[in-house]
Amino acid sequence: MNRSLGACHLLRCLPEAKIADLDKRCRWRNFEADQVIINLDDESTDVYFISWGDVRVTVFSETGKTVIIHDLKTGDHFGEFAAIDGGRRSASIVALSRTTVACMPAELFRELLAEVPEMAQIVMKRMVGSIRTLVERVVEFSTLGVRNRIHAELLRLARAGRIVDGTGRISPPPTHAEIAARISTHREAVTRELKALERSDLLERTRGAYVVKDIAELARMVDDARAGRETS
C-alpha cells in the first residue's frame, strides 16, 4: 500500500521535502472493506488523508437506518471539522475497499493552515461547498417528492463525474439501495424510477456505469420540481 501524502489534493502545493517530513510525522493505518474508521460522535480530532482506497461518509440513525452523505477516494481527506473546532465527529467513516490513511494530529493540521494560505483557502472552499450541498439537500427533503429527489441525486452524481456533449457518466454505478440511502427512501422506489427513466430514454445502464443521456433535460426536470411545476 502507498504510504505517501504526495497524491493528496490538499497538500499538492507543498514542496517534496515538506511532504516527506509530513509522511514521517503522521501515523499510518490500514483498513479492510466495511471496517469503521471513525464513529459518529467520537472525540478524536486527527485529520485523515487517503493515500489509497475509498471510504463512505455516513450517519446512522438510532433505529439503524443508514444515510449516505458522500464517498471519498484516493487523494481526498476527511476529519478536518473536529480538528478545527475540537467538537465531536459529525459522521461515521467506513472503508469501501482496502484503504490506507495517514492520520495527522489536529495541531499539525492547524499549523499547516496558518503557514500555507493556499491550503487554508482550499479548506474554506471545501467547507462552503459542503454547506451548499447540505442546504440543497435539506430543501429537497422538505419540498420534493421521492421521484424528484431521485432525479436530483442522479444529477448531482452525473455532474460530479465526466460530462461529454451533454451526456453524464456515473461510474461506478451506485446500487439502488445506496441511492435510497442517500435520499431517505426505500430501494423499491429507486428501482421503479430508474426503470421509468430508462423507458423514457433519459437514462441508460451500461457495463460499469449509469449514463444520463441528456444532463440539460434532467436539470430542467429538477428545476421544475423545485419551482413547483409539474414534470413529465
Model pLDDT, residue 1: 60
- Among 137, 143, 163, 164, smallest CA distance to 70 is for 137
| Per-residue pLDDT tens digits for 207-216 | 899 999 999 9
Query: Under the phi-then-psi rule, with left for phi > 0, alpha for psi from -120 to 50, and beta for the rest, what region is 229?
Result: beta
Q: Identify whether 105 is preceded by a cis peptide bond (ω within 30 of 0).
A: no
Higher pLDDT, 163 or 197: 197
Rounded Cα gap, residues 107 and 70, in angstroms: 26
Helix (H) / strand (E) containing 84: helix 80-85
Is the pLDDT assigned to residue 82 strictly greater than 80? yes
Which of 37-41, 117-121, 209-213, 227-231 has the least mean pLDDT?
227-231
Is the pLDDT assigned to residue 8 strictly greater than 60? yes
Is the pLDDT assigned to residue 63 strictly greater than 80? no
Rounded Cα gap, residues 141 and 79, in angstroms: 26
| Per-residue pLDDT tens digits for 104-148 | 999 999 999 999 999 999 999 999 999 998 898 888 888 899 999
The mean pLDDT value for 33-44 works out to: 95
The mean pLDDT value for 93-97 works out to: 96
Model pLDDT, residue 228: 78
